[in-house]
Structure 1
Amino acid sequence: MLKILIALKDYLVFINIIFACIIIFFERRRPVFTLFWITVLLLTSYFGFIMYLFFGMGFKKRRALAKYYLKNSKNYSTKLNEKSKLSLKKWTGLSKYLDTVLLGKMTHNNNFTFYQNPEEFFKSLTASIRKAKKTIFMEYYIFDDDEVGGPIYDLLLEKVKEGVEIKIIIDGAGTRGVSRKRREELKKAGIKLEVFFPSYFPFIKMGNLRANYRDHRKITLVDNAVCYSGGLNIGNDYVGKGRLGKWQDIGFSLKGEAIIDYIHEFERSWKFLKKDIKEVFETKVVKIKEYSSNPIQVVSSG
């Protein structure tokens, strides 16, 4: 037994050296990053490679992700009244920077509603899903099948029977508590469900070599007419019924031109997971009316 442990220790040291070589020759990152991981690997001879697998290794997925995060061309109305011009004047530099570097266009024809009460947020979200006629797109880090999320899953099963196209992205770590039975039920009903970096291993729910790459977005898009986002995931924790106690997150609903950016963000995530860049997404926004000027600039972090 002692001989086996000694041999195993030697193998772990050898594996650490291999990963150090991978960082040196294949990673394209800042020198400080490279030096940090080489130091970790060489000083922690027996478990450094495990740390690197879960928190450091990212060259392949990083490049793939960047490839799909190229902006599509968009057209926005640019009519500004005098009040809007005055309110935006001091932000001109920042707005131009975000537009040039991060490709986030300023939009003006928008209507914004904040929900400080999470119960009101979920009530409005559920009502919009219930009224959906064509499409429902949802992208969440946490979408639990509990008192909050369970009824929404059930409602989505009803809507897909009505012919509504439904696409859902859930994170492989954040939503790991949703059973395989529930996921299969959604897929069999016709709901298109994708998991962002799921576990590679059958009995380890967070067993992915890209544990540091997670999808923390919270987006619901209904009929290209309304978008729900903000800090609220879907689950008991976000209405004060979870095991971690109570805290305050704010959600919002959005109508108007800025929805175009949210559609593009969902589209890029979807195409990245499906590995299909040919799928066409309708980006025409439903405009019920000309809203009073609410300048919004959506910034994507990738």
Structure 2
Amino acid sequence: MKEIFIALKDYLVFVNIIFAIIIIFFERKRPVFTLFWITILLLTSYFGFIVYLFFGVSFKKRRALAKYYLKSNHEYSKGLNKKSMISIKKWIGLSRYLDGVLLGKMTHNNSFIFYRKNEYFFNSLTLAIKNAKKYIYMEYYIFDDDEVGGPIYDLLLERAKDGVEIKIIIDGAGTRGVSKSRIETLRKAGIMIEIFFPSYFPFIKIGNLRANYRDHRKITLLDNEICFSGGLNIGKDYVGKGRLGKWQDIGFSIKGEAIIDYLHEFERSWKFLKKDTTDVFENPVLKKRDYQLTPIQVVSSGPNYEFHTIKDTIL
């Protein structure tokens, strides 16, 4: 009888260890909860797993919740084909988290183009600027006045003469190569340009006490029709003609419902710089078109957000 009792104790210790491993590798809890349950399981060698079964979230409960969310939020999957349904079902929990903290739902009526070479991106961007009829909004960390950025600035001056509304946001630390005379020329032409946290010291352009608060966005919006974004700033470095040589960065364009979220983010930045405290944004009227049914959810972050959404999403 004594041997059976010893064997049972060893078995319970083994069960607790198995549950601890399950929690570490399969249960996506907050770190403090994970440490709590592991401590309970390893220090209470004989009954910790029973406590966990009663009070821990089981896989069965999670599967039931996932089915409920998928069923009660059919707008996420409305109109999708079977392949798209499978692709978003895997990410429905993450999508709901982003919906809660950003108030931005996943949209489906979109088309997406990824540019395999940086040169293709800039060629498409230049063509879109030439064809814009109503507005051009640009927000960039780096928008240099060099052999890549200079012609775009010149093109924007031409478009301003055509009556196109143009707003530009450039970062005070990132965009250091644009002269005051260039900025004055743009403003005199009717182009609205704002500098995000400019330097306090005119001769030391990186002298900024808010160096950790920079505008690293790269966005061009045109006529509620198309948005260019990704990791590409505007400058010769991004076509392999800078000191760092050649490299490939991410550049893409979006058409469809997802550009509304990009537009709202640009408007927030613009209102901040203009010291406009209102937080009301109208959704633009988009032309009714059938795109490629590409699920897209825009993730934004910054000091004005309560949560570290981009970091949390990657994790």
Preserved contact between residue 141 and residue 218 of structure 1 (Cα < 8 Å): yes
Matched with 2:80 is: 81
Task: Find the aligned partners of 2:128 and 2:92 in 1 and give their Cα distance.
Answer: 35
- Secondary structure at 2:91 match in 1: helix
Matched with 1:114 is: 114
Task: Find the aligned partners of 1:142 and 1:182 in 2 and give their Cα distance.
Answer: 15
Preserved contact between residue 256 and residue 285 of structure 1 (Cα < 8 Å): no
The answer to whether structure 1 residue 249 and structure 2 residue 243 are counterparts is no
Q: Following TM superposition, by how much is the alpha carbon of 1:90 offset from its aligned partner in structure 2, in angstroms?
A: 1.4
Matched with 2:231 is: 231
TM-score by length of 1: 0.72
Matched with 2:27 is: none
Where does 1:146-185 land on structure 2 (aligned, <5 Å)?
146-185=146-185
Where does 1:27-46 land on structure 2 (aligned, <5 Å)?
none
Q: Following TM superposition, by how much is the alpha carbon of 1:287 offset from its aligned partner in structure 2, in angstroms?
A: 2.9
Q: Following TM superposition, by how much is the alpha carbon of 1:107 offset from its aligned partner in structure 2, in angstroms?
A: 0.4
- Secondary structure at 1:195 match in 2: strand
Q: Following TM superposition, by how much is the alpha carbon of 1:103 offset from its aligned partner in structure 2, in angstroms?
A: 2.8
Preserved contact between residue 77 and residue 85 of structure 2 (Cα < 8 Å): no
TM-score by length of 2: 0.69
Q: Amino acid of the residue matched to residue 216 of structure 2?
A: H
Q: Following TM superposition, by how much is the alpha carbon of 1:285 offset from its aligned partner in structure 2, in angstroms?
A: 4.6
The answer to whether structure 1 residue 271 and structure 2 residue 289 are counterparts is no
- Secondary structure at 1:289 match in 2: coil
What are the superposed Cα offsets for residues 212-268 of structure 1, whole Å, 9 maximum, x if unpaired?
111010000000100000010000000000012221102001000000000000000
What are the superposed Cα offsets for residues 196-225 of structure 1, whole Å, 9 maximum, x if unpaired?
000011211011110111101000000010
Preserved contact between residue 225 and residue 285 of structure 1 (Cα < 8 Å): no
Q: Amino acid of the residue matched to residue 243 of structure 2?
A: R
- Secondary structure at 1:246 match in 2: coil
Preserved contact between residue 220 and residue 229 of structure 1 (Cα < 8 Å): yes
What percent of counterpart residues are identical?
A: 75
Preserved contact between residue 257 and residue 285 of structure 1 (Cα < 8 Å): no
Q: Following TM superposition, by how much is the alpha carbon of 1:279 offset from its aligned partner in structure 2, in angstroms?
A: 9.4
Q: Which has the higher contact order (CA 8 A, sep 6+)?
A: 1
Q: Following TM superposition, by how much is the alpha carbon of 1:280 offset from its aligned partner in structure 2, in angstroms?
A: 7.7
Q: Following TM superposition, by how much is the alpha carbon of 1:87 offset from its aligned partner in structure 2, in angstroms?
A: 2.3
Task: Find the aligned partners of 1:275 and 1:152 in 2 and give their Cα distance.
Answer: 28
1:285 to 1:244, Cα distance in 2 relative to 1, 3 A:
farther
Q: Following TM superposition, by how much is the alpha carbon of 1:168 offset from its aligned partner in structure 2, in angstroms?
A: 0.2
Q: Amino acid of the residue matched to residue 81 of structure 1?
A: L
Task: Find the aligned partners of 1:274 and 1:285 in 2 and give their Cα distance.
Answer: 25
- Which is greater in Rg? 2
Matched with 2:213 is: 213
What are the superposed Cα offsets for residues 85-109 of structure 1, whole Å, 9 maximum, x if unpaired?
2321111111111111233310000
Q: How many residues align?
A: 227
- Secondary structure at 2:108 match in 1: strand
Task: Find the aligned partners of 1:227 and 1:115 in 2 and give their Cα distance.
Answer: 13
- The runs of 5 or more residues in structure 1 that have no matched partner are 1-75
Preserved contact between residue 76 and residue 106 of structure 2 (Cα < 8 Å): no
1:78 to 1:287, Cα distance in 2 relative to 1, 3 A:
farther
- The runs of 5 or more residues in structure 2 that have no matched partner are 1-74, 303-315
What are the superposed Cα offsets for residues 132-153 of structure 1, whole Å, 9 maximum, x if unpaired?
1100000000000011100000
Preserved contact between residue 143 and residue 175 of structure 1 (Cα < 8 Å): yes
1:126 to 1:281, Cα distance in 2 relative to 1, 3 A:
farther
Task: Find the aligned partners of 2:188 and 2:286 in 1 and give their Cα distance.
Answer: 30
Q: Following TM superposition, by how much is the alpha carbon of 1:282 offset from its aligned partner in structure 2, in angstroms?
A: 5.7
Q: Amino acid of the residue matched to residue 79 of structure 2?
A: L
